[in-house]
Amino acid sequence: MKKVITYGTYDLLHQGHINLLRRAKELGDYLIVGVTSDSYDRGRGKLNVRNNVLERVEAVKVTGYADEVIIEDYVGQKIDDIQKYNVDIFAIGSDWSGQFDYLNEYCKVVYLPRTEGISSTQLRAESTVDVKVGVIGCGRVANRFPDEASVVSGIDVCTAYDKDFSKSCEFISKHRIKFCDRDLECFFQKVDAVYIATPHLSHYSLIKKSLEQGKHVLCETPMVLNANEAKELFEYAESKGLILMEANKTAHCPAFNHLIVMVKSGVIGEVVDVEASLSKLWDDDMSLREFDPEQAGGSMYELGSYPLLPIFKLLGTNYQNLNLYSRMQKNVDMYTKGVFRYPHAVCSFKVGLGVKTEGNLVISGTKGYAYVSAPWWKTDYFEFRYEDQNQNKKFFYKWDGAGLRYEIQEFISCIINNRFSTARLRRRESIAMAGVMQQFTNRINFNEL
């Protein structure tokens, strides 16, 4: 049997893709199609936002030409795949002519003619209308947003608003944004969606106001500090046909998502313990908002949503109980540890603004454990470790920029494809995170150290 392999993004699947798949199939008896993962295909200098990898895989399957579909996830995989699947022919479009000649060492390389007059780039340019996004809150966090958005297709950051007008003027000048607005009424008239990067306690009212104006919302984490408010906002957004998403960069990180998928597949057995920690020392500058109890300062509110993420992703949101332990100073927690009890597992997290800890992630299972070194919330490497060290496996990834581009990509994708929820951070998970914040606020099962 003669095996053929080909690769592509297959975004906005069109007749040119179908013709190429047909020609590849005609070269042999069995066709393997490699579809690039969401994080791998950066050849255009833009992150794909039209079809995610699962949608693109399904589109390839529907053509009927692929006998097998695989995911291309890393540089050098083509050689690995050719050897793994005993491939006889590597086929690719003629616009890549000469660039894959090095594969002749492993199999025959064939460059197939492209269909003239049609391409994904052309279709994307013709069909994509940029989502006009405005920034609310022009402080430290927001300053990362415009540069990260510039590498995502389908978005135009066009205006900014801050209650301090001088800040918004400085912001648009620094990032070469067209407009800034003195009031939200004018701001909303210019945008389709908003990115909210204001202090925590203002999130609920600004989200509600934005949704009332018919605008999609991406809000910095923690989205809100109350589970009832989170549930209300998500339900209201969907009733208005709008996207509401919490901007947790780790949730959208390609490496973190791969880690979660692999752990859920059983590579370390049943998960019985998750330990996640995160700390930052701010040089004892107690004048910062992060230390102001009137502005929801402290470790739990500032950092808590990140270590809660792997716990809820792996063990769900239906925990039996949660105990909290905090070291308080001037009415803010400089350090908090939480211990969850699940039916068949126990999990813990640690956050600190005045206490330093390792900042790693350990997921313990019945067959082995996953280890992610600090800073695990910017995952670019993880390892599976076993009793037999010869079975240990390491995985390396690239973390691009500040990491916001991944959440921006998913936000725009949800808007374009009318998806109210993302698997990377389910609405129920955001609600559960807000519920933990609420428990801390109400000092339930709370112990002061």
Average pLDDT over all residues of the chain: 92
3-state secondary structure of 72: strand
What percentage of the chain reaches a pLDDT higher than 70?
A: 94
Per-residue confidence at 430, pLDDT binned at 50, 70, 90? very high
User: What is the spatial distance between Cα 324 and Cα 359, in angstroms, rounded to a whole number?
Assistant: 18
- Chain CA centroid to CA 280, Å: 22
Write the Ramachandran bin of 137: left for phi over 0, alpha for psi from -120 to 50, otherwise beta: left
Q: Can you tell me the mean pLDDT for 339-366?
A: 96
- Provide the token pair at 103: 């594969």
The C-alpha atoms of residue 159 and residue 180 are separated, in whole angstroms, by 5
Please tell me the predicted confidence (pLDDT) of residue 418.
87
Evaluated on CA atoms 199, 200, 206, 211, the torsion sign reads: positive
pLDDT of residue 43: 43
Could you count the other beta carbons within 10 Å of the beta carbon of residue 355?
Answer: 17
Cα distance between residue 180 and residue 322, in whole Å: 44
Average pLDDT over residues 133-141: 95
Find, among 363, 236, 256, the residue nearest to 306 by Cα.
256
Taking alpha carbons only, the member of 233, 230, 287, 277 closest to residue 437 is: 230
Q: Which helix (H) or strand (E) holds 131?
A: strand 131-136
Asked if 393 and 370 count as a contact pair (C-beta separation under 8 A), the reply is: no
Q: How far is CA 382 from each of CA 283, 349, 405, rounded to the nearest angstrom? A: 30, 18, 21
Q: Measured between alpha carbons, how far is 218 from 134 in angstroms, rounded to an integer?
A: 10
Distance (Å, whole) CA 444 – CA 441: 8
Q: Please report which confidence band the pLDDT of residue 391 belongs to, taking 50, 70 and 90 as the band edges.
A: very high
Answer whether 52's CB lies under 8 Å from 85's CB.
no
Domains and CATH numbers, the chain: 3-121 (3.40.50.620), 124-248 (3.40.50.720), 254-398 (3.30.360.10)
Q: Cβ neighbours of residue 423 under 8 Å, at least 6 residues apart?
A: none
The Cα 6–Cα 90 span in angstroms is 6
427-441 helix and 227-239 helix, angle to the nearest 10 degrees: 150
Residue pLDDT, tens place only, 61-71? 999 999 999 99
Mean pLDDT across the stretch 371-393?
Answer: 95
**Mean pLDDT within 140-151:** 94
Q: What is the pLDDT of residue 265?
A: 92
Give 369's pLDDT tier (boundaries 50, 70, 90). very high
What SS3 state is found at 272? strand
pLDDT category at 15 given cuts 50, 70, 90 is confident
SS3 393: strand
Q: pTM to 2 decimals?
A: 0.81
Mean pLDDT of 391-403: 88
- Pairing between strand 3-8 and 89-93? parallel
Between 51 and 20, the higher pLDDT residue: 20
Taking every pair of Cα atoms in the chain, the longest distance, rounded to a whole number of angstroms, is: 74
Across the range 263-273, mean pLDDT stands at 96
The candidate with the shortest Cα–Cα distance to 71, out of 87, 55, 83, 86, is 55
pLDDT digits (tens, 9 = 90+) for 199-221: 999 999 999 999 999 999 999 99
What is the residue type of 124?
R
pLDDT given for residue 128 in this prediction: 57
Q: Which of 2-6, 121-125, 399-403 is most confident?
A: 2-6
* pLDDT score of 45: 46
Alpha-carbon distance 135 to 157, whole Å? 8
Alpha-carbon span 103 to 27, nearest angstrom: 17
Q: 32-75: per-residue pLDDT in tens?
A: 999 988 766 554 444 555 677 778 899 999 999 999 999 998 77
Q: How confident is the model at residue 400 (pLDDT cuts 50, 70, 90)?
A: confident
Q: Which of 96, 114, 130, 101 is nearest to 19 (CA)?
A: 114
Nearest CA among 122, 128, 118, 145 for reference residue 50: 128
pLDDT at 12: 76
Check whether 243 has a pLDDT greater than 90: yes
Q: Provide mean pLDDT across the span 67-90.
A: 92
